Chain A
């Protein structure tokens, strides 16, 4: 009670500020109720029902959740998604980091190269999808028809279930501009004096990278990794446009399966349950990432 009383405005001036503050924040407060609280709670409710949008929701308890245990489709998409997240996130972060390192070294035309590396990140995803479909086409794609002309066998980048996900990883590494820019800004903030001191002590370029650069940017590595994990679990648009989750469902990711359940088969209950499991998975992985990061991440400001 005391805590509550202390958190309430007391003086007229505090009241005035409180009302003003709430008034200015009211768009978000209303939106939070309408587009977050109500949807989230109804999503939780729907996840315990069978609901096809035509008839009213029917309460079925935890059956949607229990059914995942022996749902072959669920296992398939969960497996694909785990593969995707565990591979694409670290590789994407490495790709972004290496590009930033290159750009941060002493080079001419830096902003020109930076623009080139960054641009794929802001191209509409549909365009990325169409261009790569064509580039990687087994017969007439630029890569395969070059290979054929040189007498090699064509590589079924997007027509073989074995290669599809790897091709997506390559495209993912190609469009890491945003993470790269964040790395670049951080790299530029690493104090010069550290490098100078290390050079005087005779440290090699590799030692400087390993013992100065990486520790100094490690919080941002973690940040980019977390963002990438969260995005990776919700990966949808590119595989959906390119092959609708194919070939042979090799790129049928969690979000694609969720989309099908919700908007193709109108199983709103099951789709909601899927969404909640996804949410819990994301929370779990983010937590694990933060937990395990303690030993690897160096916070310059933190007392230890």
Chain B
């Protein structure tokens, strides 16, 4: 006689299914409402960029402007020296800052992760401690120092510090380097490779993902940076984009005096958001993994 297998049986009330459906319905409602309200500001920005003043100053608001004035993008961009400011932002600030940070932070992280030297851990503790010091404590004396060096209104003040490592990225890269097998270095050392050789030829090629995180974050920070340029760059021909858009903003504050103040402000705002959006679209994984990497191991 076959043994009867008793299966644990949980009572399933008739309304259980309905409750589950209701739960799903609520969840997706919240998700969709949230998603729409998260996107709405951006949609508002882009739709306002192609309006004329008659479509801007109207109640109720126009969500689908017709006709659209696409020339706003071109005209707004050429109303100020945005080409120059883009050049300043990318070539004179973001690129050199990125190169400097990637080079120096990876070099230093290598020392903390893969060379066994006395005093290393104590020094690394100091690296971590510097992250606690608010930027504002250093801002005033750094301004004094840079002023004495004649670096005000130059990009040196913004770029040069990047060549000396950033505590945050040193930490991030060190975590990554630590995870690479030690045998890799040992084998190369036995073959007589120098430490620099191991770093450049073995460790760096294996760390492309982490280096991409550092490069992307540094570039984005420079692209988005406002406070640094605000303090160090006063001359208009030295401005970066974030300062430059401020020009169009002041037109908004004196409503009535300037035509197309809002559309132009929104047009240029859209244009400087575009590269961030594209970077995010194509490198979403790098962003998300980079952030979870730093957060989790912290």
Contact = CB atoms under 8 A, between A and B. Distances in A.
Interface of A: 7-9, 14, 17-18, 20-25, 27-32, 34-36, 38-40, 42-43, 46, 53, 99, 102, 105, 107, 111, 113-120, 122-127, 130-135, 139-142, 145-146, 148-150, 174, 178, 181-182, 184-186, 189, 220, 223-224, 230, 233-234, 236-237, 241, 255, 258, 262-263, 268, 271-272, 274-276, 278-279, 282-283, 286
B41 A132 contact: yes
B227 A236 contact: yes
SS class, residues of chain A in contact with chain B: helix
B67 interface: no
Interface string B109-121: 0111001111110
Interface stretch (B53-61, B78-86, B90-98): B53-61
A116 B140 contact: no
A134 B108 contact: no
Nearest to A18: B117
B117 A130 contact: no
Given A113-B35, A145-B61, A24 B295 contact: no
A27 B108 contact: yes
24 contacts: A21-B111, A21-B117, A21-B119, A24-B115, A27-B104, A27-B163, A32-B164, A36-B130, A38-B145, A39-B137, A42-B145, A102-B30, A115-B284, A120-B41, A125-B242, A134-B252, A140-B58, A181-B292, A255-B136, A262-B139, A262-B140, A262-B143, A278-B137, A279-B133
B224 interface: yes
B117 A102 contact: no
A36 B117 contact: no
Contact of B296 (A120, A145, A185): A185
B25 interface: no
A123 B142 contact: no
Nearest to B275: A124
B44 A135 contact: yes
B214 interface: no
A268 B145 contact: no
B104 A35 contact: no
A124 B85 CA distance: 15
B262 A186 contact: no
B44 A31 contact: no
Nearest to B8: A200
Contact of A130 (B147, B163, B269): B269
